[in-house]
Structure 1
Amino acid sequence: MLYINGKWTDSSSNETLTVYNPATQEEVGKIAYGTKKDAEDAIKAADEAFEKWKRKTAGEKSAFLSTFANELRKRSDEIANMITREMGKPLRESIGEVKLTISYVDWYAEEAKRIYGDTVPASSADKRILVLQEPVGVTAAITPWNFPAAMITRKIAPALAAGCPVIVKPASSTPLTAKLIFEALDAANPIEGIANLVTGPSSEISDAFNESFLVRKLTFTGSTEVGKHLMRGAADTVKKVAMELGGHAPYIVFDDADLEAAVDGAVASKFRNAGQTCVCTNRIYVQESIADKFADLFASKVSEMVIGDGLDEKTDIGPLINKGALTKVTSQIDDALERGGKLMTGGKEAEVDNYNGSFFEPTVINYATDDMNISREETFGPIAPIYTFKTEEEVVNRANHFEYGLAAYCFTSDFSRAIRMMENLEYGIVGLNDDMPTTAQAPFGGVKASGVGREGGKYGLQEYLVEKFVSMKI
């Protein structure tokens, strides 16, 4: 079912989309497969709701979001189970995602009460200058499959807090999680049209978003290639855009770091969600004097990870999202080995008893070099290449990817070095001795081809507001 103007409805084409579990290849369920017309109907509904919603007081918007968060809590187990069934991540990771999902709604329920304007000193005694903060307008949100719940609330919670109605287009791999999110929203008794869900073909629906002058903001999380395409389309109607795009995160370990903590952090960062996150470690740089010790300890821990269905509580690594992902990681490994890399563990498709999923062994490649494809291409899979470096200056130059700039990690016990690394790494997010920095109250986003705009905290709210300058002569 689609959710448009406060009602559940079938697609105008009456077509449905079947969702399959990547671990078992069994059918998870069906959902309406919307059309461009459905997207246009959702845009119209959102536009008609705009005046009503933006006139609501800050307290009323806050109260609605708090009710929405409580409805999500009631369904947290069901949502977590669906995340794992739709895209494969271990259930404990799905439970963690649901907590993050709710935390965004909780945070913006409070931020809705903190939208302030300014009074600016005027240039003459008979004038007063005001700056008002107003909602940008109808917002279209396109969300990815790898965090099918959290990426929805990270967009719609600040939009609604700011006074912007939204239309969500979730990934076709994970629409059933989105449906559960909207069931919780519907139970919170929203104004009709302030939040709409349209599942269906990406090209048709995104075209409807970009062609409409009623849509004033487009927010997208996904690949850099698709993000660039959407930005070109948004230019025709001069929309405000926010793009959280690809990443190629370096993970830097100096010889003064806590080695155990650095190894454990690398395992967590690299192999969360089977390596299928935009902030996953892509390149591990280890200072020469500890490189062999780090590699041995890291490979030993990785080799002990359990591969299987995410619903099995013993599973550490679930399936990749589809067979195409298997092909990509296999190609990167083959190239790395041809260029002199040493395979320490993993390296091939995994066979899991009684399952027909797209499983791949968690893989460690030592002696990686900068000319390997894996050093340049984003890796959405469980491959960890290890590089060595001599000096701080050298590793900063190599770590600063020519294209991407989303997240970077650095482990060191030298305070002065930590400050220098914080300042010199060209990334929107830097984790210092911290492998999981993401939180609802902090800005998430990248620089360079990793995107524009921020999500999270007061910064994420500002993305849905525009300033109005008022000059009064008295």
Structure 2
Amino acid sequence: MRYSNYINGQWKEPASTNYSANINPHNGEILGEFPLSSREDAREAAAAAKAAFPAWKKLSFQQRAAYLQKAAAILKSRTEEVGRDLTLEEGKTLAEGIGETMRAISILEYYAGEARQPLGDVIPSANAQTFLYTTRVPVGPVGLITPWNFPIAIPVWKMAPALIYGNTVVIKPADSTPKSVYHVVNALHEAGIPAGVVNCVFGRGSIVGAEWVENPDIKAISFTGSNSVGCQIQERATARGKKVQLEMGGKNPLIVLADADVNKAVEIAIKGAFSSTGQKCTATSRVIVEARIYDEFRDMLIERTKALKVGNPLEKETFMGPCVSKAQRDTVWSMIEAGKKEANLLCGGNLLQDEETAQGYYIQPAIFDSVSRDARIAREEIFGPVIALFKVNSYEEAVELANDTEFGLSAAICTNNFTLVQRFVEDIESGIVHVNSETAGAEPQVPFGGCKNSSSGSREQGKTAIEFYTQVKTVYLDPM
């Protein structure tokens, strides 16, 4: 089946005649074909968003919220179908695919609820006759460039706040997972959202995304993806006066102190590192263990990792599916090969070529120890199921090692020492902190984002999303 772009309220064939196959990473099956759109398509979408903006921003918050609620109800009625399609195109397990779909529904419902929240402040004026207050106004048409690893949740956590605060949207989904965004846009279409308010253009970021970064009709860009692309977008977009929001890489540490429950800590490490095939910006990448329990932790981690079921993500007993694409699998494989030269491979790290997995992009979860802090696997984001193990002698050494990275997205600690928990919250250089839980995971009602090279601009999700999608207007109101 061939799919079309969604521009100005209609599913429309692209100006280009080129299409890209949507591939099932489990077996190479073609799931459909999506447009490789041109700059002409991207410009048309931007123009539609610009034309729809004045009427959309004049609607009340409750009127805009009604469309989000209807779209959420439509997706809820199709949770199993959408979750299965997500699994088929991305490779995460069916439970994860359905769970992510439910998360997207929750995000739509959350931002529909924001329609009844306060918008500004009343501030005492030096002049007794002046009524002084602030309100917020939408930025305008915004461009959203979204990744493949959370192909429905991340697009929705960008679209929902953008829409509720009165902006119109153009969105470019990731090339390898387009159908998940198709489902979201189709739900909004069926909900009756006015023409031009939401526009979706499939294709390459170097073409579609580049057009929106340069196009004067687009007033802000929100991007989730690699640091190299994000920095290019920031440089080009800010030079044109646009607001920019970037969510990029992570090299997330899990610290396990000697007083921790080793059994629980191992489960936390495995879930954080290997769920979704490690393809999360918040995935656990470095596990830093206090020396007194290091051997016990390492041996248990190896034993349980070897027992994980890697295979068809649609099967209930599967823990880990394939990488999203051959290119991603090969990238992870190359990092594992580099790791073999600079550290000790304890288990895994092989390509899977049995009867079930031979046609897919499978790789075994890998664990390394004797890792130098200067090793590539210790410093670079791998975005795959790889753990680098480190042994330390104290809390202070653990935190110093955890902070020795250019990234600062998420971090976790396992301990029963509440005094050290309080210190950890202060000491760790990350935007998200977990205590006795995995580094991955984020609820929609709280801010999401990191520090250092992990993020740039205001936080996503929660009430803080308003900072990016609106501008403050200060009003001095005096009587005649």
**Common topology (TM > 0.5):** yes
What's the counterpart of residue 32 of structure 2? 29
Q: Which residue is equivalent to 1:188?
A: 191
Contact 1:287 1:390 in 2 (8 A): yes
2:287 paired residue among 284, 288, 301: 284
Displacement, 1:285? 0.2
The one-letter code matched in structure 1 to 2:18 is E
Partner of 1:423: 426
Aligned-pair identity in percent equals: 35
What is the Cα deviation at residue 114 of structure 1?
A: 1.4
Counterpart in 2 of 1:91?
A: 94
Instruction: Show the counterpart of 1:267.
Output: 270
Whole-angstrom CA distance in 2 between matches of 1:111 and 1:299: 45
Unmatched tracts of structure 1, length 5 or more: none
SS state of the match for residue 215, structure 1?
Answer: coil
Contact 1:224 1:451 in 2 (8 A): no
Shift of 1:384: 1.0
Distance 2:118 2:352 in 1: 51
After TM superposition, give the deviation of residue 195 of structure 1 in Å: 0.7
- Give TM-score scaled by structure 2 length: 0.96
| Counterpart in the other structure of 2:475 | 470
Partner of 1:346: 348
Q: Is the 8 A contact 1:161 1:461 kept in 2?
A: no
Q: 2:348 is aligned with what amino acid? A: G
Q: Distance in 2 between matches of 1:312 and 1:245?
A: 31
Instruction: Tell which deviates more after alignment, 351-360 or 83-92.
Output: 351-360
Output one character per residue of 1:104-148: Cα deviation in whole Å (capped at 9) or x when no partner.
101001012214111222223343322111111111100001111
1:438 aligns with 2:442: yes
List 4+ stretches of structure 1 deviating above 6 A: none
Paired with 2:332 and 2:193, the residues of 1 have a C-alpha distance of: 44
What amino acid does structure 2 have at the position aligned with 1:467? V
| Equivalent position of 2:395 in the other structure | 392
| Range with greater deviation from structure 2 (281-290 or 362-371) | 362-371
Taking the aligned partners of 2:370 and 2:124, their CA distance within structure 1 comes to 60
Any idea what SS the aligned residue of 1:463 has? helix
Q: State whether residues 22 and 30 of structure 2, in contact with CA within 8 Å, keep that contact through their aligned partners in structure 1.
A: yes
Contact map agreement 1:211 1:236 (CA 8 A) in 2: no
Q: CA deviation at 1:387?
A: 0.4
Q: Is the 8 Å Cα contact of residues 443 and 459 (structure 1) preserved in structure 2?
A: yes
| Alignment partner, residue 124 of structure 1 | 127
What SS does the corresponding residue of 1:286 show, helix, strand or coil? strand
Preserved contact between residue 283 and residue 384 of structure 1 (Cα < 8 Å)? yes
SS in 1 for 2:294: helix
Aligned partners of 1:206 and 1:407: how far apart in 2?
Answer: 27
1:239-298 per-position Cα deviation (integer Å, ceiling 9, x unaligned): 111111111100110011121111111110100111111000010000000000001111
| Contact residue 282 and residue 441 of structure 2 kept, 8 A | no
Distance in 2 (CA, whole Å) between partners of 1:401 and 1:177 is 36
- Which residue is equivalent to 1:228? 231
How far apart, in 2, do the equivalents of 1:35 and 1:401 lie?
42
Contact preservation (8 Å) 2:339, 2:377: yes
How many angstroms apart in 2 are the aligned matches of 1:336 and 1:10? 46
Task: Name the counterpart of 2:241.
Answer: 238
Residue deviations 1:161-183, cap 9 Å, x none?
10111111000101122111111
Q: Secondary structure at 2:464's aligned position in 1?
A: helix
Secondary structure, counterpart of 1:458 in structure 2: coil
RMSD: 1.4
Q: Which of these residues, 42, 46, 71, is aligned with residue 43 of structure 1?
A: 46
Matching residue's letter, 2:61: A
AA of the residue aligned to 2:38: T
Q: How many angstroms does 1:83 deviate by?
A: 1.1
- Which amino acid in 2 is paired with 1:455? E
State the match for 1:456 in structure 2.
461
Cross-structure match for 1:178 = 181
Map Cα deviations across residues 216-259 of structure 1 (whole Å, 9 max, x no partner): 11101101111001101102221111111111100110011121
- Tell me what 2:154 maps to: 151
Name the SS for the 1:104 alignment partner: helix
